Amino acid sequence: MTRLDDRRRLIIRRIRITGWTCLSSLLVTIVSFLTWFHIVFAAEREATLEVFRDDRLQVSEVAGSIVMEPTEGASSTGILYFPGARVNPYSYLYPLSEVAASGTTVVIMDPLMNMALFDGRRLDELALAAPNITNWVLSGHSLGGVRACMLADDPAVIGLVLMGSYCAIDVSSLEIPVLQVLASNDGLIDAEAVAASSTLVPDSTHIITLEGANHASFGTYGSQPGDGIATLSRAEVRDALTAVFQDLLAGN
């Protein structure tokens, strides 16, 4: 065996070792990525049970979404809600419960991999969860709001409400009311991205700031690392969000 053959074998062996090392690293990265997305912020039991015990409301799972509707007096207008990243969709039942009790059906999507941005369902597909609804207000929390913006040009949409969120695409030509609800103590939202996004929404966009709320205040799933401290109770946040939606719906 020549020195050249030995060198070739050594090179091949090194290539194999490098290849297996890269493949192993890739697999570890993929597994870690998938695991991270499947670790969700759980809905608080007390707040969720309060909704289920409310005789004015009926909650069900339909077509990959959670539907909260009034037991009486349902209108033909609904709210389609997109959860924040890795937040259990049931976390948004309580904050929207009074809106639903007043006659507006609320559909909270249960997104693929707990990320609304990864869920490619169109509005007409998501609307199958509530076939009696003809007009929709789209809303979403955090990255869920980013996803809501992506579907807001549908003719069935009559309003857009962003919660601790902003649009990442240009929707400035929309001729519907757009509301951006922010929290004064939000420690997670990218302030620079919010400022930059101001040109992507209509000039008529109304900005509302909830004084004392933080990023997690828009749901009932506990605290998030890096967030600010909330001084508003969840009931106060619910009342504030109820007013936001009722004002928007009253204008349509």
Residue 232 has pLDDT above 70, yes or no: yes
Does 128 lie in the same domain as 209? Answer: yes
Query: What percentage of the chain has pLDDT greater than the value 90?
Result: 78
Does 64 lie in the same domain as 140? Answer: yes
Structural domain including 2 reads: 1-37
Residue 236 has pLDDT above 60, yes or no: yes
Residue 5 has pLDDT above 80, yes or no: no
Does 22 lie in the same domain as 48? Answer: no
**With bands split at pLDDT 50, 70 and 90, how would you rate the model's confidence at 63?**
confident
Q: What is the CATH number of the domain that holds 189?
A: 3.40.50.1820
Is pLDDT larger for residue 36 or for residue 247?
Answer: 247
Instruction: Name the least confident of 27-31, 51-55, 86-90, 235-239.
Output: 27-31
Does 138 lie in the same domain as 246? Answer: yes
**pLDDT per residue over 105-145, tens digit each?**
999 999 987 888 889 999 999 999 999 999 999 999 999 99
Structure tokens, 124: 């007409």
Does 77 lie in the same domain as 2? Answer: no
By C-alpha distance, which of 240, 227, 248 is closest to 104?
248
Residue 30 has pLDDT above 70, yes or no: no
Does 180 lie in the same domain as 227? Answer: yes
Is pLDDT larger for residue 252 or for residue 3?
Answer: 252
Does 72 lie in the same domain as 150? Answer: yes
Does 143 lie in the same domain as 122? Answer: yes
Question: CA 6, CA 68: separation in Å to the nearest integer?
Answer: 71
Does 124 lie in the same domain as 15? Answer: no
pTM for the predicted model, two decimal places = 0.85
Does 49 lie in the same domain as 32? Answer: no
Question: CA 47, CA 121: separation in Å to the nearest integer?
Answer: 29
Residue-level pLDDT at 54: 98
Residue-level pLDDT at 18: 55
Bridge partner residues of 87 (DSSP): 41
To the nearest whole number, what is the mean pLDDT of the chain?
Answer: 89
Residue 102 has pLDDT above 60, yes or no: yes
Residue-level pLDDT at 4: 57
Does 164 lie in the same domain as 103? Answer: yes
Does 93 lie in the same domain as 114? Answer: yes
Residue-level pLDDT at 82: 97
* Domains contained in the chain, number: 2
